[in-house]
Structure 1
Amino acid sequence: MLLANIALFLKIVEKGGLAAAGREVGLSSTTVSERLAALETHFGVVLLNRTTRAISLTDEGRTLLEGAKMVLGEVEDLETRIRLGAQTLSGPIRISAPSDIGRTHVSAAISSFLAKHPAISIELVLSDGYVDFVGQGLDIALRFGSVTDSSLRVRSLGLQRRLVCAAPAYLAKHGMPKKPVDLKKHNCLVMRFGANLDNVWRFGANALQQIVTVRGDRIANDGALVHQWALAGFGISLKSELDVRPDILAGRLIELLADFSPPPAPLQILFPPSRAQPKRVRELADHLALLIEGLEQG
């Protein structure tokens, strides 16, 4: 019963409330509340701060959440090995990825992974912003850029080239920039990451680096939408080569300012700050890493 109550606790946090968790698992709000109270009595602490509008984790609740995912994952793996054999993986995985690469490469990786492990289910959360592992109930995340949360476990996938590009239709109408400063005269498609506007574009390296503050009539917090705008000829974008390589090769987008390459961005797989991950999560991380490595070599 303890493990069942811990699993219900995870569902409460994932769904953001007792009633929502109850609907998900087919229990009344009263039953969910009673089982949560029993769990808190067992540990002798308050796990959730509850108001009429929202819930929030206490420090003890956060500790339980981080450890419980690992424990329940290992229990599922153990059950699978006993019932179906050591080579069979099962259970859910919740993964976050940037919207553009998530819709393409990560989605393809999920399909090929599930083809090999049909007993696994995967929920893909597309977001270009901050990753809240606890609040979103994530097992794994793929992210570009530097990692500011030192508590997260990181698996590096290397540096990924970034490039400036635009559609032929845009360039035919507005001309092609010859040097970075020329971008000030162009309509640039800008990404927003939370409160930060990514409108300061850097070119070159070290003492030769050039910095240009760009502007345009379209801003989005969704990389896939910026990609779509670029393809439609609305302006110039700064994208990872992983996102736009097929369009560059097909001529749908044209790389600009190739002699002034922007600094590459690190790509990494992130894990929550727990001691270990279930085998299914580790296997998916390996699968993603192999796919990215293949794209780089391609």
Structure 2
Amino acid sequence: MLLDQLRLFLTILDRGSMAAAARDLGLSPATVSERLAALEAHYGARLLLRTTRSFSLTEEGRALADGAQHLLAEAEELDARIRLGTERIAGPIRLSAPSDLGRNRIARVLDDFQQDHPEVEIDLHLSDGYVDLMAQGYDLAVRYGDLQDSSLMVRRLADCARHVCAAPAYLDRHGMPEHPDDLARHNCLMMRFGPNTDRFWPFVIDSRQRRIAVRGNRTANDGEAVRAWCVAGHGIARKSEWDIAEELADGRLVRLLTDYETPPIGLQVVYPAGRGHIRRIRLLIDSLATEFA
């Protein structure tokens, strides 16, 4: 019974409201509210701070969300081992990944993984914004950059350079920038990460890192959209080497300002500590590491 209540709690967090969780679970909103109240009474603590339109986690609620993920993961693993045998790999995996990388590289890894393990169910979430793994119930995420949340485990997959690039057609019309300051005269295609737009691009100039302000007439929160605009000749973009490798190889894009590039950043997989003990998740992490090695 407690496991069911914990699943209900995580569903509320994942769906963002008790009404949405009720629809997913086939329950009435009143029943969901009653079960949440019973869970809070069981622990003797308020788990959510609710308003008419939204809610936020209390400290106790955040601790329970973390612990519930671990507990349910272990219960799922035990259930699979007993029902299916220790050699069979089965069960759900919820994965978050950057949009462009997810479509063009990670999706292929998942195809191969499911071919080897057809009883695994994949739920892939593509987003270039911040995702709270604990609160939203994800097993793992692939992300660029250094680990920010120290409660998560991390496995580095590769170093990843970011290149400023443009299509030959754009450069024919507007000329080649020779210095990062020249970007002020160009149309730059910008990414938006959640509420923040990437308006300042880093470069190494005179042995020091500087952030150059850029501007342009197109911004998107989807990396593939920015890449497509760049290939179509609408402006200059700053993209991960993984996202534009094919376009650079066949000449559809050209690297710019290579003498001023910053050092590569990390590409890593992050996951709550308890999820790494689950065999299907551990095997998928290994598959990702092999892909990007």
Alpha-carbon distance between aligned partners in 1 of 2:159 and 2:203, rounded to the nearest angstrom: 16
State whether residues 96 and 141 of structure 1, in contact with CA within 8 Å, keep that contact through their aligned partners in structure 2: yes
Using structure 1 for the length normalisation, give the TM-score: 0.88
Match of 1:8 in 2: 8
Alpha-carbon distance between aligned partners in 2 of 1:225 and 1:66, rounded to the nearest angstrom: 34
SS at match of 1:177: coil
Match of 2:197 in 1: 197
Alpha-carbon distance between aligned partners in 2 of 1:90 and 1:248, rounded to the nearest angstrom: 39
Count matched residues.
Answer: 293
Alpha-carbon distance between aligned partners in 2 of 1:213 and 1:246, rounded to the nearest angstrom: 28
- Answering whether residue 180 of structure 2 is matched by residue 184 of structure 1, we say no
1:245 counterpart letter in structure 2: A
Deviations 1:87-107 (CA, angstroms, capped at 9, x unpaired): 222222222111111121122
Alpha-carbon distance between aligned partners in 1 of 2:183 and 2:121, rounded to the nearest angstrom: 45
1:149 counterpart letter in structure 2: D
Match of 2:112 in 1: 112
Relative to structure 1, the CA distance from residue 179 to residue 30 in structure 2 (aligned partners, 3 Å threshold; closer, same or farther) is: closer
State whether residues 160 and 240 of structure 2, in contact with CA within 8 Å, keep that contact through their aligned partners in structure 1: yes
Relative to structure 1, the CA distance from residue 208 to residue 59 in structure 2 (aligned partners, 3 Å threshold; closer, same or farther) is: closer
Alpha-carbon distance between aligned partners in 1 of 2:32 and 2:202, rounded to the nearest angstrom: 52
Alpha-carbon distance between aligned partners in 1 of 2:205 and 2:149, rounded to the nearest angstrom: 26
Alignment of 1:244-259 (within 5 A): 244-259=244-259
Alpha-carbon distance between aligned partners in 2 of 1:288 and 1:275, rounded to the nearest angstrom: 15
Moved more, 243-252 or 255-264: 255-264
Alpha-carbon distance between aligned partners in 1 of 2:14 and 2:140, rounded to the nearest angstrom: 15
State whether residues 113 and 287 of structure 2, in contact with CA within 8 Å, keep that contact through their aligned partners in structure 1: yes
Deviations 1:214-268 (CA, angstroms, capped at 9, x unpaired): 2222222222211111011001111111000011112211222333333212211
Using structure 2 for the length normalisation, give the TM-score: 0.90
State whether residues 230 and 237 of structure 1, in contact with CA within 8 Å, keep that contact through their aligned partners in structure 2: yes
State whether residues 10 and 135 of structure 2, in contact with CA within 8 Å, keep that contact through their aligned partners in structure 1: no
Relative to structure 1, the CA distance from residue 210 to residue 47 in structure 2 (aligned partners, 3 Å threshold; closer, same or farther) is: closer
SS at match of 1:158: strand
2:137 counterpart letter in structure 1: G
Offset of residue 198 of structure 1: 2.3
Offset of residue 61 of structure 1: 1.9
Identity %: 52
Relative to structure 1, the CA distance from residue 197 to residue 7 in structure 2 (aligned partners, 3 Å threshold; closer, same or farther) is: closer
Unaligned runs of 5+ in 1: 294-298
Alpha-carbon distance between aligned partners in 2 of 1:273 and 1:142, rounded to the nearest angstrom: 15
Match of 2:260 in 1: 260
Relative to structure 1, the CA distance from residue 154 to residue 44 in structure 2 (aligned partners, 3 Å threshold; closer, same or farther) is: same
Unaligned runs of 5+ in 2: none
Offset of residue 58 of structure 1: 2.3
Deviations 1:152-199 (CA, angstroms, capped at 9, x unpaired): 322222321111111121112122223333323222212233344323
Match of 2:223 in 1: 223
Match of 1:272 in 2: 272
Alpha-carbon distance between aligned partners in 2 of 1:117 and 1:98, rounded to the nearest angstrom: 24
State whether residues 145 and 265 of structure 2, in contact with CA within 8 Å, keep that contact through their aligned partners in structure 1: yes
SS at match of 2:148: coil
1:36 counterpart letter in structure 2: L
Offset of residue 112 of structure 1: 1.7
Match of 1:232 in 2: 232
State whether residues 159 and 267 of structure 1, in contact with CA within 8 Å, keep that contact through their aligned partners in structure 2: yes
Relative to structure 1, the CA distance from residue 211 to residue 28 in structure 2 (aligned partners, 3 Å threshold; closer, same or farther) is: closer
2:138 counterpart letter in structure 1: L
Deviations 1:10-31 (CA, angstroms, capped at 9, x unpaired): 1122122233222212222233
Alpha-carbon distance between aligned partners in 1 of 2:258 and 2:47, rounded to the nearest angstrom: 54
State whether residues 157 and 288 of structure 2, in contact with CA within 8 Å, keep that contact through their aligned partners in structure 1: no
Alpha-carbon distance between aligned partners in 2 of 1:29 and 1:264, rounded to the nearest angstrom: 49
Moved more, 84-93 or 232-241: 84-93
